[in-house]
Amino acid sequence: MEPCREPDYRHEWKHEIDRSDLIALRQRLRAVAFPDPHAVDGKYGIRSLYFDNLQDRALREKLDGVSRREKFRIRYYNGDPSVIHLEKKSRLGGLGNKRTASLSAAQAQAIADGETEWMAGCREPLVRELYVKMTTEGLRPKTIVDYTREPFVFGPGNVRVTLDYDIRTGLGGTDFLDPDCVTVPAGGAFAILEVKWDGFLPDIIRDAVQLPGRRVCSFSKYAQCRIYD
């Protein structure tokens, strides 16, 4: 496996949106952007397993608005565990980056089960970093987050716009490879608009995602899915 590389930070906007916003944005984006080629019929399902420590540091830093923070998660798409990624999301104000490493289903399940000894010798730097944080900071799998995503891309500015909805929580469950794992609606925002770009955001996209009365927010699907704790 190739070692993961540190990507550049990207600009990120997030807006909480309602059903009418979702319909309007979908129509606008279909007219000016392109569907992500990985989407099936324009969308895909995402399941993530998020990590936190006993003091809920990742959750508390998010709720407290800490400018520099990070979180780890394991993720796969459309219920297909043949491609699984370990991801580390880092935030610095309104900027974000993501590092990734590939995991097999067996490796992902081992991490979820707390079987971590093998991680120390893994070739993937990100897996070794998670191992250190699990052994020294008490990082552990915390909850499952499910949702549906409609993704759009636009070449200039390397823009990616996503519409995320049907957000569900696995409560305290961590058996995220089980397709029959029970999840329940997380409540809160109906849907989330996310806009990410590199050096500049083209006016055509900026205009397409404008929503009167909506302000950029610092939204976390992980935090929304911890509401029942």
CA 160, CA 153: separation in Å to the nearest integer?
5
Give a yes or no: residue 229 inside a domain. no
What angle is formed at CA 119 by the lines to CA 71 and CA 134, rounded to 5 degrees? 40
Q: Does residue 40 belong to any structural domain of this protein? A: yes
This prediction has a pTM of 0.90
How far from the centroid of its chain's Cα atoms is residue 221's Cα? 8
The domain of 64 spans 10-224
- CATH number for the domain spanning 31: value is 3.20.100.30
Which pLDDT tens digit goes with each residue over 82-117?
999 999 999 988 899 999 999 999 999 999 999 999
Residue 4 lies in a domain: no
Across 15-29, 139-153, 156-170, 205-219, least confident range? 205-219
What is the chain's Cα-based Rg?
17
Q: Is residue 5 part of a domain?
A: no
Distances (CA, A) of 161 to 12, 156, 195, 210, 216: 10, 13, 5, 12, 14
- Mean pLDDT value across residues 11-25: 93
Inside any domain, residue 42: yes
First-residue to last-residue Cα distance in the chain: 37
In the prediction, which pLDDT does 215 show?
66
How far apart are alpha carbons 225 and 229 in whole angstroms? 9
The DSSP letter of residue 121 is: G
Average pLDDT on 207-211 reads 93
Residue 183 lies in a domain: yes
| Average pLDDT value for the chain | 91
Inside any domain, residue 3: no
Number of domains in the chain: 1
Flag whether pLDDT at 191 surpasses 90: yes
Reported confidence tier of residue 1, pLDDT bands at 50, 70, 90: very low
Is 157 contained in some domain?
A: yes
